[in-house]
Amino acid sequence: MMTSRSSSHPIHPLFIKRWSPRAFDPVKLSDTDIHTMIEAARWAPSAYNVQPWRFIYCLRQDAEWDLYISLLNPFNAAWAKNASALVFLVSDTVFQDRNTPSAYNSFDAGAAWVQLALQATDMGYDAHAMAGILFDDVTEKLNIPDRYKVEIAIAIGQRTTPAALPPELQEREGPSPRKALSEITFKGAFPHE
Site for a copy of itself in 144-163 (CB under 8 A): 144-145, 148, 151-152
Output 40 or 165, the one with its CB closest to a copy of itself.
40
Q: Tell me if 154 sits within 8 A of 83, measured CB to CB.
A: no
Distance of CA 133 to the CA centre of its chain: 12
42 part of the interface to a copy of itself, by CB under 8 A: yes
Q: Is 12 in the site for a copy of itself (CB under 8 A)?
A: yes
Integer Cα distance of 60 and 87 in angstroms: 11
Q: Which is nearer to a copy of itself, 141 or 170 (CB)?
A: 141
Interface size with a copy of itself, residues (CB under 8 A): 76
User: With binding defined as CB under 8 A, does residue 99 bind a copy of itself?
Assistant: no
Task: Give least dist CB 131 to a copy of itself, A.
Answer: 5
Please give the residues from 109 up to 128 whose contact with a copy of itself meets the rule CB under 8 A.
109-111, 113-115, 117-119, 122
DSSP 55: E
| Nearest-5° Cα angle at 117, 111 to 119 | 105
Question: How many CB atoms within 10 Å of residue 71?
Answer: 24
